[in-house]
Structure 1
Amino acid sequence: MSTLTAPRTGHHTAVASAVSHESDPSAAVAELAAALGSRADLYAVFVAPGYDLGSMGAALKDHFGDRVIGCTSSGNIGPHGYDRAGICAVSFTGGLRARTVTVGPLDDAPGAVERAAADLADLRSGVGDSESFAILLTDGLIRNEDLLAANLMAALGDVPIIGGSAGDDLTFRHTAVYHDGEFTANLATVTIVCTDAPFRLIRLQHHETTDTILIATDVDPDLRVIRAFNGRPAAQAYADAVGTHVTELNPTIYSKHPLLLNAGGSSWVRSIAAANADGSLSMFARVEVGDVLRVGRPMGMLDKLERQFTDIEAELGPISGMLAFDCVLRRLEFEEHQLADRVGALLAEHGAVGFSTYGEQFNGMHMNQTLVAVAFA
């Protein structure tokens, strides 16, 4: 069954969303098209696990042509909040122009951006004096979003970026990005949106830094592995810092006490993926030798989101719709604290549509356990 939210009309852009839980890809996309129509300026589609991606890609191409971007997800954010199954879509109509280029393969992210330099420069030149932002969707298993985001920011100059890493509901087997009728691994898409409608980019995390400092002294940046903090085995040093035994380390502790990097006058979450048998820590984001990381603590998980929406509406007026990329680790933490329904309802109330990610990008930075979004007035 598909669900449609009524279009929310902003200054020039109408935003609508729909979700389908039909098991057949063609039937699911047909429901979305029936709900959203086929004349929007841009569609964004997010696909939870369980679908044949070949059939899904063909159906998206058939119904929406070349005006659709999307990726696989670890669950979606739709008209009813968090949704771990199905396919979710949002459409933007009126007052905007959108163009997309592909970047890949991503094994060598700087090289991929360099190969796409001419196309990216063409995108950038098309902005002119318009207000614009870029949407980055990238494979979530290549583990180099840090370099990808930094190099794209250099290529796009003053065009701000929001992005999300494709997911597969924590199975870590296959993530893919949609382009031109196909879901492809090892690929990213960059879409520049120029719009007359007022908008605001959002970055929100609910962890704050403590005074406990861990300095990365032995790392493998490309593998996202920290071997030592302050000259000591990383897992042991982290366990001591959060007041537990190394054998008790688990995803619950990692989610409550991520590591935060201060850069550019702000803090950025570096989440721990696992403690390894050799005493090292695997990370969900890149860490360099000498990085000073602070142990984080959760603060006001729901309150911070409510305040963020209040601030946005004070600046823009009522929100007409929002494209949101929200770390899957945030949803898991909300579920653990029985807050997922309340957070999901708050997101739906403000027209948020998007997906649960394996990582988020904001301008030139990649991070974890963060919500990034673009909200339209």
Structure 2
Amino acid sequence: MAVAERNVGDSEKSEVHVPTPVISRTRQHTAVASADSHRPDPVAAVAELADALGTRAGLYAVFVTPGYDLPLVGRELKRHFGDRVIGCTSSGNIGPRGYDSAGLCAVAFTGGLRARTVTVGPLDDAPGAVERAAPELADLRSEVGDGEGFAILLTDGLTRNEDLLAANLMAALGDVPIVGGSAGDNLTFEHTAVYHDGEFLPNLASVTVVRTDVPFRLIRLQHHEPTSTLLIATDVDPDRRVVRALNGRPAAQAYAEAVGTRVADLNFSVYSRHPLLLNAGGSAWIRAIAAANADGTLSMFARVDVGDVLRVGRPTGLLDHLEQQFAALEADLGPIGGMLAFDCVLRRLETEEHQVADQVGGFLAERGVVGFSTYGEQFNGMHMNQTLVAVAFA
């Protein structure tokens, strides 16, 4: 087991990138502690987390890799932490050791924050699920009031409804910024689940609104930039995330030619280097390709609609970009006291392919980053891929 603890102190804070003046001289502190366990027995593993983190924190977030008896893990989380825990299944964790492909990982927040969670589902009809939860979401929004807060979204990663879910939740929560990730199962694509009241349940999302006086930033980091090569989605099945045609031609063929290769040579490495980027709200959002299908279509990890103008992306260097962005964050926020992060599993696979996983994982661990490898990321009203989104505390 590894344990890390960091203190969050005072400085100016903003949500997303908008500075907010300091209005109080009272010094606020939040302890951000993390721990992991690799014990195979779920009872022993959760007990080890509880021993390391205590059971009195205001909020716990727990991420579980495949192989554990989820009913037992859920029961033990409820027994040790009561109703102050959120979590989901993962495709690997980010913890005190950096990237970690196995075990349980947890982060505990104590002092200086208040949190409340609402579940949304079933997600077969994401807009309807959000509408049914509207009264509870309105209560969450009212608790933030005119103060500073943010929402953590954890959602089933196999429903293929994160795009609609994020957009509808943003409308329901108004100006409360959202950050989160889609539960994973280590790329088996068989069973993902979100924790709720002692159980891990599929087809569900949890929304946790955190009210805090402690300085924080919501961040979004991606190391791909759009090129001038345009591909327009002309025939799609958006609900299944399948693109049939780009620029009026079979999607796989059009994409392969755009990146300078043959359809037969399309693979994860090509998709990783050259994802498709959608411009919306003045920013580029990655739509990662999952597979080229035998019928010439492309399966995607995010929704694409007819008429979407997509640009072929190119990488700028994951580790270099990470270092630059963290330097900019620390220049703005001060030394990072802790960070809850949702990092696309495709990014971790890319670090493994280029043999820099230990370097990147170590870099994240040194800066108190805790979280999990996701099947997709949410930032405000958008769902995306191949991105790291996080809430960082000063």
Shorter-normalised TM-score: what interval? over 0.9
| Structure 2 residue 85 is matched with structure 1 residue 68 | yes
Alignment-derived partner of residue 341 in structure 2: 324
Whole-Å Cα distance in 1 between the matches of residues 284 and 8 of structure 2?
Answer: 34
Which one of 81, 84, 89 corresponds to residue 101 of structure 2?
A: 84
| Structure 2 residue 173 is matched with structure 1 residue 145 | no
| Structure 2 residue 8 is matched with structure 1 residue 4 | no
Alignment-derived partner of residue 365 in structure 1: 382
CA deviation map 1:314-371 (0-9, x unaligned): 1221111000000000000111111111110110011000000000000000000000
CA deviation map 1:200-233 (0-9, x unaligned): 0110000011111100000000000000001100
CA deviation map 1:220-279 (0-9, x unaligned): 000000000011000000000011110111111111110000010000000000111110
Whole-Å Cα distance in 2 between the matches of residues 91 and 6 of structure 1?
Answer: 9
Alignment-derived partner of residue 15 in structure 2: none
Secondary structure of the structure 2 residue equivalent to 1:222 = helix
Say whether the 8 Å CA contact 2:230–2:310 is kept in structure 1. Answer: yes
Unaligned runs of 5+ in 2: 11-28
Alignment-derived partner of residue 352 in structure 2: 335
Q: Percent identity?
A: 80
Alignment-derived partner of residue 105 in structure 1: 122
Deviation at 1:280, TM superposition (A): 0.4
- Pairs aligned (count): 376
Counterpart code for 2:206: T
| Structure 2 residue 47 is matched with structure 1 residue 48 | no
- Map 1:336-351 onto structure 2 (within 5 A): 336-351=353-368
Alignment-derived partner of residue 24 in structure 2: none
| Structure 2 residue 140 is matched with structure 1 residue 123 | yes
Secondary structure of the structure 1 residue equivalent to 2:154 = strand
- Map 1:305-316 onto structure 2 (within 5 A): 305-316=322-333
Alignment-derived partner of residue 93 in structure 1: 110
Say whether the 8 Å CA contact 2:5–2:31 is kept in structure 1. Answer: no
Counterpart code for 1:294: R
TM norm structure 2: 0.95
Counterpart code for 1:175: T
Which one of 210, 218, 236 corresponds to residue 219 of structure 1?
A: 236
Counterpart code for 1:64: F
Whole-Å Cα distance in 2 between the matches of residues 317 and 244 of structure 1?
Answer: 45
Alignment-derived partner of residue 261 in structure 2: 244
Deviation at 1:88, TM superposition (A): 0.1
Unaligned runs of 5+ in 1: none
- Aligned-residue CA RMSD in angstroms? 0.7
- Map 1:168-207 onto structure 2 (within 5 A): 168-207=185-224
Tell which deviates more after alignment, 125-134 or 282-291. 125-134
Counterpart code for 1:30: A
